[in-house]
Each structure stands twice: as C-alpha cells, then as structure tokens.
C-alpha cells in the first residue's frame, strides 16, 4: 500500500487540512500504516500536483490561514482503480524477532523483558481498539458498506493483537525454562 492511497482514503468523507489529516491518520490508518507528518505533507503536495487533490485556503481569525485538501474526481477514479488492482502484502519488519535469532543463555532474561514490554504495548493497543469497536461499531451489520470495511480492518487488528498476546505468553513460558549460564571464568 502506498501512502498516497492511505491519504486519499482519509479524504473520502471530508476535506481536511494537513494537520487534521495527520491527527486523524494517527487515530485510524496509523494503526497499520505509519507515516510522519513530513511524509504526509510531501505526499499532499504530490497528489495536488497530479490533480488528484484540490486545495483551498481557509481564513482563520487570530491564526495563520490553513490549506484544506479534498479529493478531486480524478483522485476518486485513481483510488477506485487502485482498489481493483492486486493487493500487495508487506513483509513484516520486527526488530524483536530479529533479536530472537541472537538468543543466548546470557541475554534470555533481557529478551523475556523485551517480550513482556511488547506484550504490554499490544495490550494497550487492544484496549484502544476495543474502545473504538464498542463506541463506533457495536452493530456492524447496520453500518454503511464502506464503514463495514473499516470495521473489518479494525477486527483484523484485534485478532492479530490477540494472536500476538498468545505468542508472547508462549514465548515467555518457554524462555522462563532456560537456565542462565554463568560465563565468569572459574578460579
């Protein structure tokens, strides 16, 4: 998935300024697609140059004017073409998994701590996902079609998080049985 399509998807329902888009992005698509504010602003400029976004200046009293972006008809068509194209799966990049390839008796305790910290992070994210689900998607069968898609993406995040928690528990249990080797030389 490209950042361009994530931004255009964020603009389907309403025109937004760059800062509004970045804030909303962090609370929705940011759960599975990361982008810095700088990347978002650069992409907004590129999309506007392609004619896929329009931009208009909005006067604000007591503050600088803001630029608000919206999808053009050609932007909507490009987004629709992208939806009908093949879906690419991104390879997972997870430093924790790479570190596990370097597991030794001397670092096992540290790695258990790393897994425990990651488990806590995932738990916090799951609490947030669950709050979003309860607040906005209590009756998914009654949602408009596009919001059913958002619900399904949220459910995927919930299921992946639950699966990761199970893995963390299994990993900590397995690593808890590893005895640390004393590497100090015998005298």
Please tell me the least confidently modeled range out of 9-13, 16-20, 27-31, 72-76: 27-31
How do residues 93-125 score in pLDDT, each as one tens digit?
Answer: 789 999 999 999 999 999 999 999 999 999 999
Same domain, yes or no, for 75 and 16? yes
Q: What pLDDT does residue 142 have?
A: 94
Any idea what the CATH number is for the domain that residue 30 is in?
Answer: 1.10.10.10
Residue 187 pLDDT > 80: no
Q: How far apart are CA 6 and CA 23, in angstroms?
A: 13
Q: Is 99 found in the same domain as 142? A: yes
Query: Are residues 17 and 75 located together in one domain of the fold?
Result: yes
100 and 53 share a domain?
no
Q: 68 φ, ψ to 5°? A: -110, 135
- Residue 136 and residue 114 share a domain: yes
CA angle 9, 163, 150 (to 5 degrees): 20
Q: Which domain holds residue 27?
A: 3-84
| pLDDT score at 45 | 94
Q: What is the rounded average pLDDT for all residues in the chain?
A: 88
* Cβ(107)–Cβ(85) below 8 Å: no
With cut-offs at 50, 70 and 90, classify the pLDDT of residue 179: low
**How many domains does the chain fold into?**
2
In a shared domain, residues 55 and 7: yes
Q: Which of 64, 84, 104 is the last residue of a domain?
A: 84
Same domain, 75 and 116: no
* Cβ contact 48:55 at 8 Å: yes
């Amino acid at each position: 998935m490209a950042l361009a399509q994530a931004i255009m998807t964020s603009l389907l329902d309403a025109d937004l300024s760059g800062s509004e888009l970045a804030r909303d992005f962090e609370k929705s698509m940011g759960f599975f697609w990361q982008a810095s504010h700088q990347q978002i602003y650069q992409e907004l400029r590129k999309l506007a140059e392609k004619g896929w976004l329009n931009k208009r200046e909005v006067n604000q009293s007591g503050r600088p004017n803001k630029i608000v972006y919206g999808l053009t008809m050609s932007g909507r068509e490009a987004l629709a073409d992208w939806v009908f194209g093949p879906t690419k799966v991104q390879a997972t990049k997870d430093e924790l998994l790479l570190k596990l390839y370097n597991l030794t008796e001397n670092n096992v305790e540290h790695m258990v701590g790393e897994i425990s910290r990651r488990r806590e992070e995932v738990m916090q994210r799951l609490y947030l996902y669950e709050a979003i689900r309860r607040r906005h998607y209590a009756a998914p069968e009654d949602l408009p079609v596009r919001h059913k898609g958002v619900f399904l993406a949220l459910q995927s995040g919930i299921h992946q998080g639950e699966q990761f928690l199970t893995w963390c528990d299994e990993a900590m249990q397995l690593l808890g049985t590893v005895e640390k080797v004393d590497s100090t030389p015998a005298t």
